[in-house]
Structure formats: C-alpha cells, structure tokens
Chain A
Amino acid sequence: MKKFDMTKDAGKISELHAGEFVLLSGTVYTARDCAHKRLHALLAEKKPLPFEPEGAAIYYAGPCPAPEGKACGSCGPTTAARVDVFTPELLDAGVKFMVGKGERSDEVARAAVKNGCVYFAAVGGAGALYGNAVKKCELVAFPDLLSEAIYRFEIEDFPVFVAIDAHGGNIYKR
C-alpha cells in the first residue's frame, strides 16, 4: 500500500498519479464554506491567513464533537465543489494539498497543475473511520463557526484516492 506524508514527502508530489489509492498522513487544516469566505476576505485585504499557506493542506470537513478519549469525533470529507470559487487563489497563495470529496471545476484543476498541487478524494460518508484516524486536533481560527471553524489535524493513514494530480490527471474525467 502506497503511503504519503504531506509534511515529509512534499518533494514527491510529482510521484502521485490520479487513480492511485494512498494512505495519507501529515498536517491538514479543516475549512468549509464559511471559513473559505473568510479566508477569501483576508486574502482580498492582503492580511495574513490564520495558518501559513505555503505547503499547507486543506481538508474540506466539519467534525463532530470529540468523544472522551479521542482527539476528534466523526469527520469525513464534505463536497469540495462548493468552495471551488475560492480554491485557485489559495493554491496561488501556496496551498499544496486538498482533501475532500467529489469533482472539482476546470478552474481548480488548472490551478492545481499551474501550482503543482494535488487533490485527494476521501470516501464520503466514512466519518467514523476518518475521525478515528485524526490523532491530534487543535482549534486554529473562527471558533464562532463551531464545526465549521478551522482546526489543525494531525492525520494518520487516511485512505484516499489521488483524484487530481499535478500533471493534469483527473479520475473524474473519463
């Protein structure tokens, strides 16, 4: 089974190819619809983002509350397409990895190639499995958004598919 660590293997992005099944590890920042709107506003005002975008990974997800003894509650991917309009500028700002579910717009696919980024498709609905693979969870920004706030996760062996690779490969285009 191929493994990929977004923090340690950042130099190996070009070795990822659409259709590959990988176990993904490393640091990700959660962000859904509302958080993206706010990131967009910060970029527009040329203000710093609540996390360093260079080399960062964004996970389109909003977790359930953590039960006792766990870092995180159930937390599968949400539909990535809803934030497509905000994605190219984030990739231009340095974000390298995206994890979510479902197709992306052509603009996102083009921005991924331009910036050498990868979009991983996690399995929608598998919330317990992914939540269980979150080993650390820390609130980073926008606590008023509750489950839609930005959290920093340390994830371990997320089963995901390389959906859009840095070479223009795309599993949704057949």
Chain B
Amino acid sequence: MENMREIDTKEIGGKLYAMILKAGRNLTPSCVAALQAAKQKESRPLCKTALGVCLENGKIAARENMPVCQDTGLAVVILEIGQNVRLTGAPLADEVNAAVRRAYQDGCFRKSCCDPLTRENTGDNTPAVLYTELTAGDGVKISFLPKGFGSENMSRIFMLTPARGTEGILESIEETVRLAGGRPCPPVYVGVGIGGTFDKCAYLAKKALLRPVGEHHPRADVADIEKKALERVNALRIGAQGFGGDVTALGVSCEIAPTHIAGLPVAVNVQCHCVRCEEERL
C-alpha cells in the first residue's frame, strides 16, 4: 500500500456533479467555433439561418443556465483511474449515480432513462453508463458526455473484411451519415472506432467524440481518413437540419486499436450539432 494515493469516491462524485451541470448548459468551445465556421461557409440560406439559430441557442443556454438541448441524454461517464490510486469511501458506482441524480435534478435536466422493455422511466436519469479503465500513475481522469438519442439511434457497427481496407472504412462512415439524413440534427460530429473487437470499436467511437471538434488524430494515416471522410460526408449535401446544404458534418474523429488478422471492425457513433462534454483530472 506504499506510494498509493488515496482518493475518496465522494471527491470524484463532487467533481462529476459540476461537470454534468456545465456540460449540459454549454456547447464546447470547439463546437461553437465549428458552427461559426459552418455558418460562414454555408451557401444555402435555409441552412445558414438554421446554423444562426443553433449559435443563438448556445448563447441563450449559457446566459439563462438552461440545458442547450432538452435531450440531456444518457449520462456517459468514463473514469481513467491510475493504478496507484486507492479508492476509499462509498462504492464508486454509487457516488457516480448520486452525482447524476443530483445534477439532473438541480439543473432541471430532462430524465430520459427508462427500462428497455416496460419503458418505465427510472425517474432520475440513473444509472449512468459508466466505464472504468486502469491507467498508469496516481491520477483520475473524468470524462462526461450527455448522449442524446436522436443521433445515437443513427449509429452503426460494421464488421468489415480486411480486404475492404481504408475504402471500406470511408464507405461505412458515408453510408451511416447518408442513411441518417436529417434525423440526427446535422451538422453532425462523427466518432469512429476502428479495430479491436465488436464491442471495443463501439467504445472507441464513443471516446472519439470526446476529442475537440477539428482536432486530428496524431497518426497521419488516421488523420487522413478523418479528412477524407469529412469531405465525402459533406458531399452528401444533407446540410444543417437536413435542409440540403454544404455542411453536413462539423468533423470526423477516429480512434484506433489493433484488431484480429481476420477482421476490420468499424463503429460509427453519430453526435448532433450540440457537442457537449467535459473532462477533468484529479
């Protein structure tokens, strides 16, 4: 137990509570910048007007302390916990759910979590979709993403053959955005997971959405896929709100992991134009 850093799970919960309130009420700075650039660039008047409404909405939400979108989503929480951390206090999941319960109540966020079969609302937006990872060091990185379902419903997974290669990946991304049309509230932000297993690539796609809009993957070949995919998606001319304009996506963000010699899993996770997420370290 030497050299272990003790962190009370209450501290994680407290931090998360503040992050949830902030995320729900604010577009990320990179999202605002991308929306502004999109409005500038857009040539179709209907879409330009709609993008103006999106930007105005972001300002009103921040000013009035209101949720940016009424779909305040399922609460996705990713905790990357250093292996030299010893967690103390109440069970971690309990503190995480307590933070979600309190923040969704105090922030007047909509409770959108229900039983998948009876459809009965759980009433407090718990349980959170909680992922934990063990990492090196003695810190804790907390990521929070309120995930709305207009866009989540449009997400897809492809188990490609290795022969499909980069072209197959690009086609999968394009097909997903094309079939989604105006439904996920475009312009969308596209998170893509490449490699791993069926489940791993879906998780990577979700994590890809945490990256600021417009930032590229450090690996040149991955960044190249992001750029090419964005061009192809925008060529679909779905446009803001599906009104048929130049900007269908604000960005494409890919995360990769080694995979099996026999496969090429690709997950495409669609995010609406209200990109909301927070990241903090303890």
Contact = CB atoms under 8 A, between A and B. Distances in A.
B147 interface: no
Contacts of B68: 74, 125, 127-128
B183 A75 contact: no
Interface string B59-72: 01100111111111
Interface in B34-79: 46, 49-50, 53-54, 56-58, 60-61, 64-72
The residue in A65, A74, A124 that gathers the most chain B C-beta atoms within 10 A of its C-beta is: A124
Interface string B175-187: 0000001110100
Interface stretch (B9-17, B94-102, B162-170, B236-244): B236-244
B109 A123 contact: no
Interface string A7-34: 0000000000001010000000000001
B110 interface: yes
A65 B185 contact: no
Contact of A129 (B57, B182, B185, B273): B57
B160 interface: no
Interface string A88-102: 000000000000011
B67 A64 contact: yes
Interface string A136-160: 0000000000110000000000010
A161 B66 contact: no
B229 interface: no
A67 interface: yes
A64 B49 CA distance: 25
A74 B182 CA distance: 21
Q: Interface range on chain B: under 10, 10 to 19, 20 to 34, or 35 or more? A: 35 or more
B111 A124 contact: no
A165 interface: no
Nearest to A126: B57
A126 B273 CA distance: 10
Interface string B115-135: 000010100000000000000
A71 interface: no
Q: Interface range on chain A: under 10, 10 to 19, 20 to 34, or 35 or more? A: 35 or more
A124 B67 contact: no
A62 B69 CA distance: 11
A66 interface: yes
B274 interface: yes
Contacts of A129: 53, 56-57, 60-61
Contact of A74 (B70, B185, B241, B242): B70
B70 A73 contact: yes
Q: Tell me if B's interface is mostly helix, strand, loop or mixed.
A: loop
B267 interface: no
B111 A159 contact: no
A62 B110 CA distance: 8
B185 A101 contact: yes
Contacts of A62: 70, 110
B70 A76 contact: yes
A89 to B, nearest CB: 23
B241 A73 contact: no
Contacts of A123: 50, 53-54, 57, 241
Given A64-B72, A73-B108, A128 B242 contact: no
Given A64-B110, A74-B61, A171-B243, A125 B67 contact: no
Interface in B203-255: 241-244
B23 interface: no
Interface of A: 19, 21, 34, 61-67, 70, 73-76, 78-79, 81, 101-103, 121, 123-129, 131-132, 146-147, 159, 161, 171-172, 174
Q: Report the 4 A-B pairs with minimum CB-CB distance, sorted nearest first.
A: A128-B61, A126-B57, A124-B185, A127-B70
Interface of B: 46, 49-50, 53-54, 56-58, 60-61, 64-72, 108-112, 119, 121, 150, 181-183, 185, 241-244, 272-274
25 contacts: A19-B46, A63-B70, A64-B66, A65-B109, A75-B70, A78-B71, A81-B183, A101-B185, A102-B242, A103-B182, A124-B185, A126-B53, A126-B57, A127-B57, A127-B66, A127-B67, A127-B68, A127-B69, A128-B58, A128-B68, A129-B57, A131-B66, A132-B64, A147-B70, A147-B111
